[in-house]
Chain A
């Protein structure tokens, strides 16, 4: 059974693409045949994060318009087996996508026996975002610990409940997961950021994971390497934990406390 998961947020710049890349990579590393689709037509980024920008020949719009085959369009990851990238078009805009076209693509992917289809949603609540979430079975709502991001997540949750295929067909609702990214326990303690409890209380959906704010995330993005591949980093470990939870494991949440400063750091830091 193929599972379709949308990574969405409403707000831009909260870490959707980073999350989609890491989840796809992590699932493929665990042996699942996985494809990650960039729905941000016109603002293609996923290929950069995945480090395959020089290998893009055909894209999602070509596939939707039946100008290229699935085999021609999918980019196979060089590091991880079972991992494929379906890039967005940079020269078109979101109007190039249609529900019928996407449905055809989804059908082909299911026939190719993919276990997971990860849809990287563009920001906003317009056509691109609605296309990305339409076929979702599950949704990872990516939220930063600040009020505007939480409000936009609330909005996108409402859209998931009313505009997804599952809601329109009266099927079981889309399973919602909360992923808090760029969490900085020190700033939460100082009252500059919302706490995990505040966010969970505001959004009232189950918590999948907390990704701590870390310079490694930016370094990995620049290097075209999903941060989950950096096993040493806290962010990489937090993503790995979140994937375990997505697969049904019960893992305690980590990286929620500010690191204690040693005596020297307290004196000189």
Chain B
């Protein structure tokens, strides 16, 4: 059990971007990917992605060129690391040279409080050195049905925070994931406080004292006048805090 074993096998949770492929035509894929990547070239560069093929279940394996698809994705400087399929034994799944996970039910079943999809790497994989366990976890969001009063603080650990009511001035709502406010945001809202830069804040009326996404914050004074009192979302784009009307 000593640490001099050289390796340690552990379960872990990582967040990856998922690329949903819904076409078998490499040319269309190429075009669509170019579109996406162009929106934020720096953001996507060398990003590991889970290739989600669950939308291609009905496609014939004959018309699907897995190698062409992968090379197309790599050409756009994305790194496919694993393929998500609904059936590991389908012809489509077996033709792809990537580790497979069964992800067909993911996202569809949200009534269960916590759902973990685990898949060990198959031996036939071309990446034999990898021995990690890939886990997806959906944690129930924290739901508050009352207004948050001045001086109160609410923190949703490892999940979304949903508030059915307003957040008073001097109140603080904090989440590791997204913050949704079905009311006016008059206090402070902080999302992605443990570093998740893809999280967002949504509110029905933006009157906030401060908003922050993964540590990038803005005060009310720097929020454009025309957005105040309007439904808005706040998110991070290349370390730049974006505020947009909903």
Q: Which residues of A contact B (CB under 8 A)?
A: 125, 151-152, 154-155, 157-159, 161-162, 202, 204
28 residue pairs of the A-B complex, CB under 8 angstroms, read: A125-B151, A151-B150, A151-B169, A151-B170, A152-B150, A154-B149, A154-B151, A154-B169, A154-B170, A155-B149, A155-B150, A155-B151, A155-B168, A157-B149, A158-B149, A158-B150, A158-B151, A158-B152, A158-B168, A158-B171, A159-B151, A161-B146, A161-B149, A161-B152, A202-B168, A202-B186, A204-B165, A204-B166
Residues of chain A lying within 8 A (CB to CB) of residue B146: 161
Q: How far is the CB of A168 from chain B (nearest CB, A)?
A: 16
CA distance A129 to B186 in the complex (A): 25
For the complex of A and B, list the 7 residue pairs with the smallest distance between their C-beta atoms, beginning with the closest: A158-B149, A154-B150, A155-B150, A154-B168, A158-B152, A155-B151, A157-B149
CA distance A159 to B147 in the complex (A): 13
Q: Which residue in chain A gives the minimum CB-CB distance to B186?
A: A202
Q: Give me 14 other A-B pairs in contact (C-beta within 8 A), A158-B168, A158-B171, A202-B166 excluded.
A: A125-B151, A151-B150, A151-B170, A152-B150, A154-B151, A155-B149, A155-B168, A158-B148, A158-B149, A161-B146, A161-B152, A162-B152, A204-B147, A204-B165
Q: How far is the CB of A107 from chain B (nearest CB, A)?
A: 30
Q: Which residues of B contact A (CB under 8 A)?
A: 146-152, 165-166, 168-171, 186
B148, B168, B170, most chain A CB atoms within 10 A:
B168
B148, B150, B165, B169, most chain A CB atoms within 10 A:
B150
Q: Which residue in chain A gives the minimum CB-CB distance to B149?
A: A158
Residues of chain B lying within 8 A (CB to CB) of residue A151: 150, 168-170
CA distance A125 to B148 in the complex (A): 17
Q: How far is the CB of A2 from chain B (nearest CB, A)?
A: 27
Q: How far is the CB of A194 from chain B (nearest CB, A)?
A: 13
CA distance A158 to B186 in the complex (A): 15
CA distance A23 to B169 in the complex (A): 30
Q: Which residue in chain A gives the minimum CB-CB distance to B152?
A: A158
Residues of chain A lying within 8 A (CB to CB) of residue B151: 125, 154-155, 158-159
Q: Which residue in chain B gives the minimum CB-CB distance to A162?
A: B152
CA distance A151 to B171 in the complex (A): 10
Q: How far is the CB of B207 from chain A (nearest CB, A)?
A: 10
